[in-house]
Amino acid sequence: MFFFSLFKILHIIAGFTALGVFWIPIVTRKGGKAHVRVGWIYVAAMGVVAVSALLMGIWRIGFDPAKTVESVAFAWFLIFVGILSSATAWYGLRVLRFKNRRTGHREWLDLLFPALMLLSGIGISIYGAIIGFPLITWFPIIGIALGISQLAYWLRPPTRNMHWWMEHLGGMLGCCIATITAFTVFGAPRLLGVSSVHPFIWFLPTILLVPVIVGFSVYYQKKFNRTKHM
């Protein structure tokens, strides 16, 4: 129980740090000092969030004597958020590392993360449908879609101009979705002193941020294509 409490405190501190800084790299000049430095703070915070979420979820499922069907379901959600946030943050960093590649990418660790996100998303979504829990039935679909997209990007030769920029943007904003959703599900109800919020609120970060990802992608793709033909 001591270690669970310790990881919970670390999870809360890191989560609020990520929530406090995630918007700065979005609005600052891309590649500038603020973007890079705050971006690394965000990545470090999300690393702590992911590891602590995984460990707390495992404890709740395997060792909590007071566990219930609902607490186990939320534990699986916590584990999936850890997988989603770590996979998208890793992806957002690694596409920059290999931005000059011309062929398919076969680094096993870079393929493992999206594969894990894809398979865990399928498994947890099925589990949620079986127990009738909307959050873990439908939310993992975003992880399934991202897993397929990331695997396709790595395995195929790049075809778009500035492809790495677009993928970095999508990866980091995908990580933001995991951050805000976890806060919406776990943090906000406790701060507001309520037992739960309407399921629609659980999906609000996804509903709001996915169009942002699409909008940024379209904007920058058009911008880079204009630059390429000038």
For every residue of the chain, which 3-state class applies, written as one string? CHHHHHHHHHHHHHHHHHHHHCHHHHHCCCCCHHHHHHHHHHHHHHHHHHHHHHHHHHHHHHCCCCCCHHHHHHHHHHHHHHHHHHHHHHHHHHHHHCCCCCCCCCCHHHHHHHHHHHHHHHHHHHHHHHHCCHHHHHCHHHHHHHHHHHHHHHHCCCCCCCHHHHHHHHHHHHHHHHHHHHHHHHHHHHHHCCCCCCHHHHHHHHHHHHHHHHHHHHHHHHHHHHHHCC
The model's pLDDT over 129-161, given as tens digits with 9 standing for 90+, comes to 999 988 889 889 989 999 999 999 999 999 888
The mean pLDDT of 180-209, rounded to a whole number, is 72
Q: Has residue 20 got a pLDDT over 80?
A: yes
- Specify the higher pLDDT residue, 220 or 146: 146
Mean pLDDT, all residues of the chain? 86
Kindly indicate the confidence band of residue 196, based on its pLDDT and cuts at 50, 70 and 90.
low
User: Residues of the chain with pLDDT > 70: what percent?
Assistant: 90
Domain interval for residue 197: 2-228
The mean pLDDT of 224-229, rounded to a whole number, is 60
Q: What pTM value is reported for the model?
A: 0.85
- Highest average pLDDT, of 61-65, 104-108, 177-181, 189-193, comes from 104-108
pLDDT at position 72, please? 92
Q: Has residue 227 got a pLDDT over 80?
A: no
pLDDT at position 25, please? 87
pLDDT at position 160, please? 81
What is the count of structural domains for the chain?
1
